[in-house]
Amino acid sequence: MQDQSQQIRLAASASDSSTLGLTVTDVIPHVLFGGRTNLIFVEIQTNHGITGVGEASLEGKTEAVVGAINDVKEYLIGKDPTRIEHHWQTIYRHSFWRGGVVIGTAISGIEQALWDILGKALGVPVHELLGGRVRDRVRLYANGPRGNSPEEIADSCLRLVEQGWTALKLVPFDRVQGVASQEDLRSARHQLSLIRDKVGPDVDILIDCHGRLSPTSAVQMAQALEEFGIYFFEEPVLPEDPASMAMVAESISIPIATGERLFTKWGFRDVLELGAASVLQPDLAHCGGIWEARKIAAAAEVSYVGIAPHNPYSWLLTTVSVHLDFAIPNFVIQEFLVDHPPEVEQLFAERFVWQEGGWVDPPTAPGLGVELDWDAVRAHEQLPYTRTYQPSLWHVDGSVADW
């Protein structure tokens, strides 16, 4: 007599016939060292030779995400890859332990790869499967000003503007305790003053706070910097406290953005209900994938809240995000990491292309339109595995600060 779990698996398989004749034959996580962090690409193979790819990169949690992907592998093999929402619901809800960044990242990379398969099977770009384009081009901002001093950072901003970028994001301060000191405020103002003098009044400057501030110091910092025309103020306080973020939003004039550390539609519910942010930043490598981000965008649209997807990873996640950006009416701007190591760029058969001013044209190739150089990927995987860690930050008195 079959046990209950066997009966459930057999019933699921019997009902899983594909109208396109596709079944999943393998799910392979590829771990690739990307400099500051490991990258995780998810490859899903099918019986007809159509392969989908997705990105499930997560700083400092590589082995946990790979383990979660391998946990799902047995379920997916033999299934119809085009039943994307059904598989999402099964993987997410039948795990019993819901949410969290590890499960969210694993399911996101898998989900992206399934969309890639569906688009390739039908011969259309993924954004056409999301309702079609609602715009003709997508604007990127450069996450990449670097330097060891305020002057070097300002010079880095100028170089990006000279390359054609019209929007830049940076963190103009390090650790700040519960109440910002005059030195904290003066240093941040000095940095922004140097940048504005270099890039002029028309470049959009985005401030990433990394959740380093308390509600009190967030208000202090925003008020100290508002004269420099800040585009948005990202994650001023820790994302798990939307009530405090809402308090900050009521006290400052700069729009607040948040969402890179929130997962699934449920993670964004309180932010929207409390009016805690003007811009949501779901990360399509963590939030649950493309369709879950589409649901988050729809919920935000009702509250006149914009979407600016978080994206500190490779060109694969950039392209995934751009497909969503073309299909949602409340898109604002797309994050783009400008300083990929050469060995990461070599993983791709073609470079990611953007136009003057940081604009991207609609992808036209079927699926996601990303072609990996599989020889380079497999050669990269032969390198010794390198564990990566998140940076640590400490206050001047030795206590732990939020990085």
Give the 3-state secondary structure of residue 393: strand
Residue 131 CB coordination number (10 Å): 12
Contact 41, 53 (CB under 8 A): yes
Nearest by Cα to 76 from 61, 97, 91: 91
Write phi, then psi, for 400 (nearest 5 degrees).
-75, 135
Give me the residues paired with residue 29 across strands: 42
- Classify residue 354 by its DSSP letter: -
Contacts of 261 (CB under 8 A, 6+ apart): 101, 211, 235, 239, 240, 286
**Catalytic site includes residue 310:** yes
User: Among the options 48, 86, 190, 210, which is catalytic?
Assistant: 210
**Catalytic site includes residue 210:** yes
b/e per residue 197-230 (b: at least 16 CB within 10 A): ebbeeebbbbbbbbbbbbbbbbbbbbebbeebeb
Distance, in Å, from the CA atom of 183 to the CA atom of 231, rounded to the nearest integer, reads 24
User: Among the options 30, 286, 310, 323, which is catalytic?
Assistant: 310
- Which residues have a catalytic role annotated? 210, 310
